[in-house]
Amino acid sequence: MRTFNEADLISLFSALRWTVVLVALALACGGPLALLLALMRSSRLAPLRWLAAGVLQLVQGVPLLGLLMFFYFGMPVFLGIEVPSLVAVGVAFTAYTAVFLGEIWRGGIEAVKQTQWEAAACLGLTRWQQFRYVVGPQAFRMALPPTVGFLVQLIKNTSLASVVGFVELARAGQMASAATFQPLLVYSVVAAIYFTLCLPLTVWSRKLEARLNGAR
Q: Give the mean model confidence (pLDDT) for residues 135-157.
A: 90
What span, in angstroms and rounded, lies between the C-alpha atoms of 149 and 118? 31
Residue 100 belongs to a domain:
yes
Q: What is the pLDDT of residues 150-186, one digit of tens each?
A: 999 999 999 999 888 888 999 999 999 988 888 999 9
Residue 199 belongs to a domain:
yes
Q: What is the pLDDT of residues 33-61, one digit of tens each?
A: 999 999 999 888 889 999 999 999 999 99
Structurally, the chain folds into a number of domains equal to 1
Residue 62 belongs to a domain:
yes
90 close to 65: Cβ distance less than 8 angstroms = no
What is the largest distance, in Å, between two alpha-carbon atoms of the chain? 74
Q: Give the mean model confidence (pLDDT) for residues 88-103.
A: 94
Q: Which residue has the higher pLDDT, 191 or 123?
A: 191
Residue 137 belongs to a domain:
yes
Residue 1 belongs to a domain:
no
| CATH label of the domain that carries residue 42 | 1.10.3720.10
Q: What is the pLDDT of residues 182-215, one digit of tens each?
A: 899 999 999 999 999 999 988 888 887 777 664 4
What span, in angstroms and rounded, lies between the C-alpha atoms of 190 and 28? 26
pLDDT at 163: 87
Residue 132 belongs to a domain:
yes
113 pLDDT tier (thresholds 50, 70, 90): confident
Nearest to 186 by CA among 56, 5, 23, 31: 5
Question: Domain limits at 28?
Answer: 6-215
Beta-carbon contacts of 1 under 8 Å, excluding residues fewer than 6 positions away, are 180, 181
pLDDT at 1: 66
What span, in angstroms and rounded, lies between the C-alpha atoms of 149 and 153? 7
What span, in angstroms and rounded, lies between the C-alpha atoms of 92 and 158? 11
pLDDT at 215: 47
Q: What is the pLDDT of residues 62-75, one digit of tens each?
A: 999 999 998 888 88
